[in-house]
Chain A
Amino acid sequence: MLQETGTEWLSQEVKTGTTIIAVEFDGGVVLGSDSRVSAGASVVNRVMNKLSPLHDKIYCALSGSAADAQTIAEVVHYQLDVHSIEIDEDPQVRSAATLVRNISYKYKEELSAHLIVAGWDRRDGGQVFATLSGLLTRQPFAVGGSGSSYVYGFVDAEFRRGMSKEECQQFVVNTLSLAINRDGSSGGVAYIVSIDEHGTEEKVVLGNDLPTFFDQ
């Protein structure tokens, strides 16, 4: 690191090379993300919150190109606002996910972002939707971002239906911690958002408070 030109990051795309996860539990959802934004080999933001609100009880998790993901989230936030005024009640999670999917699919050649949409509504309770490349699928949990590859085995083994909210939060924190340990593009702190019928709760778990494992 003694001699570097040091300006490659100015011309490289800013990516949220990241780990994001959303899990459904009985009565709501828990979303989690890391906080690292990288441009090439540089970390340009180490505290970015990638969990973006689309409505009071619907959040989305951003991954891929930072600009693309943020723009999709903002556009859908606006569209949901209009939609909720038109129907005169809180929108459904499926509606939010459909709006995200419509943009991702229509502009799939130009965009490179993957958003996971999760939230709670009165009709179907907690729901998690994946919108990768313009598909729309409801899943009990979804992981995304570059760090997700390393934790597929862990989430497959550890996820159970019918977890409580606290168990879910612990599961999300453990998963993020494992992914952050292995993925160079994920790091920083863990942001956790829990949504149920009573409201939305945002939490931050700082780096040194993340769970550690046998080799640390």
Chain B
Amino acid sequence: MEKRSVDSRVRGVSTGTTILAATFDGGVVIGSDSRASIGGEYVSSKTINKVVQVHDQIFCCMAGSLADAQAVTKAAKFHLSFHSVQMETPPLVIAAASVLQELCYNNKEELQAGFITAGWDRKKGPQVGAGRGDSHTGSRDTAVQSNSTYWRVAAVLIPCVPPQVYVVPLGGMLVGQPVTIGGSGSTYIYGYVDAKYKPNMSREECLQFATNALALAMGRDNVSGGVAHLVVITETGVEHVVVPGNKLPKFHNE
């Protein structure tokens, strides 16, 4: 069997985990499993909540080293509350993701944590985001060589649907997508998410999709498990849904 090329040597307690976030018509669902493990051999907590509230309607999911993730989210929470006081308005989701990105990128040597940020703000509605090291996600320059002369062509910024979920993986890049998954358990559900996610689902469909995806990942990844923590964020507010292990959907082989 081919080995997955995932660096799983995380120092200390790791949230070898499955996290995801997806947008639906009118909101986002963000969710995670609840297992914390040491070295992939010992489950140090069965009931940890990896979905952290960084502002009233903005949540983050953490993956990687638990200590690093908690320290970063604590700092992000502080920055965001200060920011919202200064701006006299709740922060944008992309602001929250950017705060995380800056913390991850500037400390990339020491940190081993990745995040998914999702929430709702007045400007762009429901969004989910991801972050990475280099922040050149916009325009690019491509050099084309032809007969020993160089032509520089600046790529045109193509207008697209505003990214709605932001993900900040290891290294500190920031990328917005309609749906995103992360953590060690996410490798097993790439196929499922690609096949089953549809933009503009209803709230119930999206919740079912997220629960199924988490259940499938927990079923295959030995460092993900426990209960499924889900948070549904819409314009009207925030709702927590916890699905205990025995109530998770079962599939053909169980």
Contact = CB atoms under 8 A, between A and B. Distances in A.
A80 interface: no
Contacts of B253: 140, 156
A144 interface: yes
A150 B188 contact: yes
Contact of B195 (A63, A152, A178): A178
Nearest to A133: B1
B1 A152 contact: no
Given A149-B187, A182-B191, A114 B212 contact: no
Nearest to B177: A215
Contacts of A158: 195
B248 to A, nearest CB: 12
B157 to A, nearest CB: 19
* Number of chain B interface residues as a range: 20 to 34
A149 B195 contact: no
Interface in B99-154: 145
Contacts of A149: 2, 4, 187-188
Contacts of B220: 152-153, 156
Determine chain B's interface SS by DSSP, over half rule. Answer: helix
Given A146-B2, A178-B194, A215-B194, A153 B199 contact: no
Interface residues of A, number: 35
A64 interface: yes
B78 interface: no
Nearest to A181: B194
B2 A152 contact: no
B2 A153 contact: no
Among B4, B192, B199, B220, the one with the most A-chain Cβ atoms within 10 Å of its Cβ is: B192
Contacts of A160: 252
B189 A153 contact: yes
Interface of A: 2, 17, 63-64, 114, 132-133, 140, 144-146, 148-161, 174-175, 178-179, 181-182, 185, 213-215
The 7 closest A-B pairs by CB, nearest first: A151-B191, A153-B189, A154-B191, A153-B192, A153-B216, A178-B191, A146-B2
5 contacts: A151-B191, A153-B217, A157-B212, A160-B252, A182-B191
Given A154-B191, A156-B220, 19 more contacts: A144-B1, A146-B2, A150-B191, A151-B191, A156-B192, A156-B216, A156-B252, A157-B192, A157-B196, A157-B251, A159-B251, A178-B191, A178-B194, A182-B190, A182-B194, A185-B2, A214-B197, A214-B199, A215-B178
